[in-house]
Amino acid sequence: MTIAANNPELRSWVEVPANSDFPIQNLPFGIIRPTGKTARVGVAIGHYVLDLYVLASHGLLRELGFPKACYGSRHLNALMQAAGKSGMRALRQRISDLLNADNDELRGAELVRNEALIPSEHVDLLMPVRVRDYTDFYASEQHAYNVGCMFRDPDNALMPNWKHLPVGYHGRASSIVVSGVPLHRPKGQRKPPDADAPVFGPSTRLDFELEMGFVTFAGKPLGESISVAEADDYIFGLMLFNDWSARDIQAWEYVPLGPFLGKNFGSSVSPWVVTLDALEPFIVPGPEQEPEVLDYLRQDSNGHYDVALEAWIETPAGVETRVTESNLKHLYWSMRQQLAHHTVNGCNINVADMLASGTISGSEPHEYGSMLELSWAGSKPVALKDGSERKFIEDGDTVILRGHAEKAGVRVGFGEVRCQIQPAL
Ligand code: MN
């Protein structure tokens, strides 16, 4: 499929720096709150955001036919519900046309332009979607193998089911926060290896997980399934996703029903939803799946995405160190397979459900997507630029995830998600 808005030749009349995550080929959607105004839908372009409520108020989005209130909403849910996949695609195309260097419709309407195009430092970026349900997968083979080695043993690292289905669990939507919102270190039960009984207190093994989450449109009625071939029609876009994890709480509680309080105290997401359409130029083949998967998980075309991912730790004094470099293409199970598996039993998805990938680790140690793996359960401290070391995340540390795809001179990025860890309450 050729998507006109992805054309690498397109240029905007808005100045976009060469290293920007947000050229005219991206146009991610978010919820902005300009100084002194209410929340509304925005689109990022270079160092600016475009206020879609202003555009709608001046009739510039009339041809799309969506209620104006959708653009003035606190979350993207209403717009996603009204527009669906084809409508959001048409809206992105309309924004692309309005920002195109060859188009004078908005550029020439000075009053509207000045009101709608806002320097990004003059807006707050809010949580873009009201997440209805959140599911976390475990779709990176290297990560599953590494954790299996540490929580069990290398001979028993991958469970017998792992290469037959995308393992996942239902997480907690209420504690998903947007970039910039701090979280407190969680408290809970843990059992020190040499102790006979568990103890209670703040987690001593707080960790990040470098993940990508995707946001869905409304799915099919309860009882029906979304196939691998249909999956793209139900995926709106992707966000950086830090699935905060307390490894000591997790290791003690996870048998036999899986993650619970070691995970549900918080997850952090980036504020811009990069559409699946914008990532279409960056599709790549995935790893060969052996043994062959069951028919309902088979994918006939390439369904992985080449997106470079990074995690950084910023110390309380403000020194940033990149601690890992991974890539979305390292996933064993594609997003299509995740969604097909999620719904194969008839489970229904709703608008703005969040499905996260699980930690994405590459095969090299510097590509591991969590401190658990980078420090190998605390046995190999990670050196930071200020000379200090980390086995896990300390109070006052800020973890930052960044990601972008690049091809043919076009960079489509996600911005960042940052979250500072504050002491336990
Ligand atoms: Mn996770």
Answer yes or no: is pLDDT of 402 > 80: yes
**CATH number for the segment(s) 134-422:** 3.90.850.10
Q: Which positions ≥6 away from 269 have C-beta within 8 Å?
A: 127, 128, 176, 177, 178, 179, 213, 239, 240, 241, 242, 354, 417
Report d(CA 365, CA 349) in Å as an integer: 36
> How far is ligand 1, taken at its centre, from the CA of residue 136, in Å?
6
Give the tens place of pLDDT for each residue, 165-183.
999 999 999 999 999 999 9
| pLDDT attached to residue 301 | 87
Q: Which of 19, 27, 111, 33 is nearest to 72 (CA)?
A: 33
54's tokens: 């202003």
Kindly report the CATH class assigned to 4-126. mainly beta
Query: Quick check: helix, strand or coil at residue 195?
Result: coil
Answer yes or no: is pLDDT of 90 > 90: yes
> How far is ligand 1, taken at its centre, from the CA of residue 358, in Å?
4
Give the tens place of pLDDT for each residue, 210-260.
999 999 999 999 999 999 999 999 999 999 999 999 999 999 999 999 999
> How far is ligand 1, taken at its centre, from the CA of residue 224, in Å?
27
C-alpha angle 35/38/43, rounded to 5°? 80
Task: Tell me the pLDDT of the chain averaged across its residues.
Answer: 97
> How far is ligand 1, taken at its centre, from the CA of residue 185, in Å?
17
> How far is ligand 1, taken at its centre, from the CA of residue 359, in Å?
6
> How far is ligand 1, taken at its centre, from the CA of residue 316, in Å?
25
Bridge partners of 48? 45, 119
| pLDDT attached to residue 300 | 85
Position 42 confidence tier, pLDDT thresholds 50, 70, 90: very high
| pLDDT attached to residue 192 | 93
Residue % of the chain over a pLDDT of 70:
100
Q: Phi, psi (5° rounding) for residue 50? A: -100, 125
> How far is ligand 1, taken at its centre, from the CA of residue 246, in Å?
11
Mean pLDDT over 382-389 rounds to: 98
| pLDDT attached to residue 151 | 82
Residue % of the chain over a pLDDT of 90:
97
Give the tens place of pLDDT for each residue, 63-74.
999 999 999 999
For the chain, the structural domain boundaries read 4-126, 134-422
Give the tens place of pLDDT for each residue, 182-210.
999 999 999 998 999 999 999 999 999 99
**Parallel, antiparallel, or unpaired: how do β-strands 235-242 and 267-269 relate?**
antiparallel
Give the tens place of pLDDT for each residue, 11-30.
999 999 999 999 999 999 99
| pLDDT attached to residue 6 | 98
> How far is ligand 1, taken at its centre, from the CA of residue 135, in Å?
9
Answer yes or no: is pLDDT of 419 > 90: yes
pTM score, whole prediction: 0.98
Give the dihedral sign, CA 40/44/50/56. Answer: negative
- Which DSSP state fits 370? B
> How far is ligand 1, taken at its centre, from the CA of residue 360, in Å?
9
Answer yes or no: is pLDDT of 332 > 80: yes
> How far is ligand 1, taken at its centre, from the CA of residue 70, in Å?
32
Instruction: State the DSSP H helix or E strand holding residue 383, giving kind and residue range, or none if neither.
Output: strand 382-383
Answer yes or no: is pLDDT of 422 > 90: yes
Answer yes or no: is pLDDT of 1 > 80: no
> How far is ligand 1, taken at its centre, from the CA of residue 4, in Å?
35
Answer yes or no: is pLDDT of 409 > 80: yes
Instruction: State the DSSP H helix or E strand holding residue 48, giving kind and residue range, or none if neither.
Output: strand 48-51
* Active-site residue flag, 330: no
> How far is ligand 1, taken at its centre, from the CA of residue 341, in Å?
17
Position 152 confidence tier, pLDDT thresholds 50, 70, 90: confident
Position 327 confidence tier, pLDDT thresholds 50, 70, 90: very high
Position 2 confidence tier, pLDDT thresholds 50, 70, 90: confident
The catalytically annotated residue of 47, 58, 122, 143 is 143
310's tokens: 């990074």
8 Å CB contact between 422 and 184: yes
Mean pLDDT over 95-119 rounds to: 98
Report d(CA 41, CA 123) in Å as an integer: 12
- Which DSSP state fits 209? B
Give the tens place of pLDDT for each residue, 276-323.
999 999 999 999 999 999 999 999 889 999 999 999 999 999 999 999
| pLDDT attached to residue 288 | 93
Residue type, 216: T
